[in-house]
Structure 1
Amino acid sequence: MEQLSDLKAILHSKRANIYYLEKCRVMQKDGRVLYLTEAKNENQYWNIPIANTTCLLLGTGTSITQAAMRMLASAGVLVGFCGGGGTPLLMATEIEWLTPQSEYRPTEYLQGWMQFWFDDNKRLIAAKQFQQARISYLQTLWSKNRDLKAEGFNSADIQPALDNCLAKITAANQVTRLLQAEAELTKQLYKYAARSTNYGDFTREREAIDTANAFLNHGNYLAYGLAATTLWVLGIPHGFAVMHGKTRRGALVFDIADLIKDAIILPWAFICAKEKATEQEYRQQCLQAFTDHKALEFMFDQVKAIALKQDWEPM
């Protein structure tokens, strides 16, 4: 069996894989974590390279053994149970994460987070910094990505909306103003994406069954997996949000996921819907984009920058 040091050889910020599994059994066999699928004539085993995996989403019809969970924990892989298609079966906005129980994670980021979190003004500054980073990431990605440009997505087309949102972020004197500015921009991005892909009328509804809404739900939970992994590695509890409701236990996961959702999840949801892609094809497209644009590394950098921030002058 591999040593724990070998399993953790790849930094979490550099890992490439997220798995969504359904109708299978996850188990440990010969020192590896496998998932078993039942075919017509024979059972098939597939290997999960846990040393290069950030999180594992277990959908409908799945089971997992204690031995597999032990190996996943030793490699620092987060495990989440979810409904079909990567989204919850009963709850619309939260997923339950099973985190490896290592007590030897760094404490400096949690201590830095706690030094500002109880101060309303500093928490607002942190939220503004996240929102500015979110827009900067979208601008950079959309202006350089050839595939998105070929599909009609270009940050120059929506620059007035981005500038307007940035101005509102700067002027915001409370978190509710930030949430309003974020919602307005995202609504404009939905409209732009629907127009660019000739999708037709679109309304964002998490319970809707049209393809774009289903893909957005699916992609968002991939982003939540990255965010949950980032926070676990840095040792920051999910409840210490800077923007989403403080009564929501996993709210910080949503804050961090928002850094990349508009830039990656949103445009590909509409593009793949237009191309009548399958859920698996859409998921693969998102995961490839995460790797190409270093989405996980970007999340790590932003959270670490806030946690270690020294200058808390109003923005």
Structure 2
Amino acid sequence: MENFSSSDLKAILHSKRANIYCLEYCRVMQKDGRVLYLTEGTKENLYFNIPIANTTVILLGNGTSITQAAMRMLAQAGVLVGFSGGGGTPLYMANDVEQPIEWLTPQSEYRPTEYLQGWMRFWFDDEKRLIAAKMIQAARIEYLTKIWQKDKDLKQNGFNLTDLESALSTFNQRTESATKQNELLLTEAQLTKALYKFAANATQTTDFKCEHKSTDLANDFLNHGNYLAYGLAASCLWVLGIPHGFAVMHGKTRRGALVFDIADLIKDTLVLPWAFICAKENATEQEFRQQILQAFTDHKALDFMFETVKSIALTTHAEIDKNA
């Protein structure tokens, strides 16, 4: 490691990094200037390299351990590390009830403060915070409309916008006319219910009911994909230096709520349809994970998160002040 510095390891922007790792039953360690994970086989132990400069998030699931030296290198590379349950889903909760994954954020005294300062300019004003929440909801629907219109695989599996025009129109109208956060949350819940019904019909999934603790593949994949989206959101907010407690949608009393706000930008567009499609195809957990991570990459989900958060923090103050 004598030949490398933390600035060398951060050469790839977080929004351009390709990898998310969800590791189970292995030991993460530093060896010969690299971060590796070790699996124990029946005949031999196998080492696998983790390209930390091109990694955003590492989730440590069941049966994992990590060395201090590995954590030091991950911190230098700006990789977000979290402990979770099996498959990225928190079968065992961490020490904060509202944030099911316990994130270990790399420490740096030199991260930019401009985005936090921009966020704080409006956050303490209820009306301006509501306007920012509406911007997130508008960006969420814009992203869904854009991706579902062009993604051939989703179209082939019955995910088109024709049957959702009425629901999306109603969502936009109610979002625009909302006067407090609770109204936005109710409108969001109604849209999510409509999207679940649409996805179930498109994939011919019978008797679907959204359950956090589930016994069916669709719910398992939804939980799995959502927590991967939370990882992207947490990584985005850490890089921009905005604490997770400054939510605009899910309530300012929940410590990790801003992670949920930002993850919502992509969950309906990417996680929801692929959870139902992969469940219909009886895919394995690994196959679903590969599919959803590929969807994140193909549709530049992390880029979209960065663009939206930066826009709200820096370039929308005139609009917020005008609308407020």
**Range class of TM-score, shorter chain:** over 0.9
Q: Secondary structure at the match of 1:63?
A: strand
Shift of 1:129: 0.3
2:162 to 156, 160, 163: 156
Output the amino acid matched with 2:280. K
Shift of 1:160: 1.2
- What does residue 237 of structure 2 align with? 231
- What does residue 114 of structure 1 align with? 120
Given the two structures, how large is their TM-score scaled by the length of structure 2?
Answer: 0.95
- Percent identical pairs in the alignment equals 72
Q: Secondary structure at the match of 1:54?
A: strand
Where do 5+ consecutive residues of structure 2 fail to align?
none
Distance in 2 of aligned mates of 1:124 and 1:238: 17
1:52 to 51, 54, 57: 54
- What does residue 32 of structure 1 align with? 34
Distance in 2 of aligned mates of 1:3 and 1:119: 41
- What does residue 206 of structure 1 align with? 212
Matched, 1:63 2:72: no
- Aligned pair count reads 315
1:310 to 302, 314, 317: 317
Given the two structures, how large is their TM-score scaled by the length of structure 1?
Answer: 0.98
Distance in 1 of aligned mates of 2:145 and 2:114: 31
Matched, 1:4 2:6: yes
Distance in 2 of aligned mates of 1:143 and 1:157: 13
Q: Secondary structure at the match of 1:161?
A: helix
Distance in 1 of aligned mates of 2:198 and 2:181: 26
Distance in 2 of aligned mates of 1:87 and 1:245: 23
Matched, 1:241 2:247: yes
Contact preservation (8 Å) 2:105, 2:238: yes
Contact preservation (8 Å) 2:247, 2:257: yes
Distance in 2 of aligned mates of 1:75 and 1:6: 8
Q: Deviations over 1:23-73 (max 9, x none)?
A: 000000011100000111000000101000001000000000000000000
Distance in 2 of aligned mates of 1:164 and 1:135: 12
Matched, 1:275 2:277: no
Distance in 2 of aligned mates of 1:52 and 1:155: 34
2:182 to 176, 184, 188: 176
Output the amino acid matched with 1:117. W
Distance in 2 of aligned mates of 1:94 and 1:172: 29
Output the amino acid matched with 2:233. A
The worse-fitting range, judged by mean Cα deviation, of 249-258 and 89-98 is 89-98
Output the amino acid matched with 1:304. K
Matched, 1:81 2:83: yes
Shift of 1:90: 2.8
Matched, 1:135 2:133: no
Output the amino acid matched with 1:44. L
Contact preservation (8 Å) 2:171, 2:187: yes
Output the amino acid matched with 2:235. T
**RMSD of the alignment, in Å?**
1.1
Question: What are the equivalent positions in structure 2 for 1:9-28 lying under 5 Å apart?
Answer: 9-28=11-30
Q: Deviations over 1:199-225 (max 9, x none)?
A: 111111101221110100000000000
Output the amino acid matched with 2:212. R
Q: Secondary structure at the match of 1:36?
A: strand
Distance in 1 of aligned mates of 2:7 and 2:253: 37
- What does residue 147 of structure 1 align with? 153
Distance in 2 of aligned mates of 1:176 and 1:189: 20
